[in-house]
Amino acid sequence: EVRLVESGGGLVQPGGSLRLSCVVSDFTFSSHWMTWVRQAAGKGLEWVANIKGDGSEKYSADSVKGRFTISRDNAKNSLYLQMNSLRVEDTGVYYCATNGLPWAFDIWGQGTMVTVSS
């Protein structure tokens, strides 16, 4: 059974940095795009960034461009999100998800909470 486990969330002051990690098990990790999605409390889902299986292509939402960087380590079956210059509006639950089906996020992690507050 495919399993995704996120970590790295926490409380950080505005302007600070955090690095989220997502470890994926029982999945042909290097063959698939991976994605980060976030959700503010009581709000909807927002796509954040995605990365191709070999890491050669990356895309991110306008709201995080220039501040967040997605990366991966296929040897460790791990996905990362480096978040810099954090803002209060970046607060929320961050999910990683596999892109195992065409244009869809088929398996999700349980999420990790990021709180940006002074």
Partner 1 sequence: QSALTQPPSVSGSPGQSVTISCTGTSSDVGSYNRVSWYQQPPGTAPKLIIYEVSNRPSGVPDRFSGSKSGITASLTISGLQAEDEADYYCKSFTTGSTSYVFGTGTKVTVL
Interface positions with partner 1 (CB under 8 A):
35, 37, 44-47, 50, 59-62, 65, 95, 101-111
**Closest CB to partner 1 among 12 and 98?**
98
Q: What is the DSSP string of 24-35?
A: EESS-GGGS-EE
CB of 69 to partner 1, least distance (A): 16
The counts of H helices and E strands in the chain are 0, 11
Nearer Cβ to partner 1 (9/109): 109
Task: Report the nearest approach of partner 1 to the CB of residue 12 (Å).
Answer: 23
Which tokens hold the place of 14? Answer: 């505005």
Strands 3-7 and 18-25: antiparallel
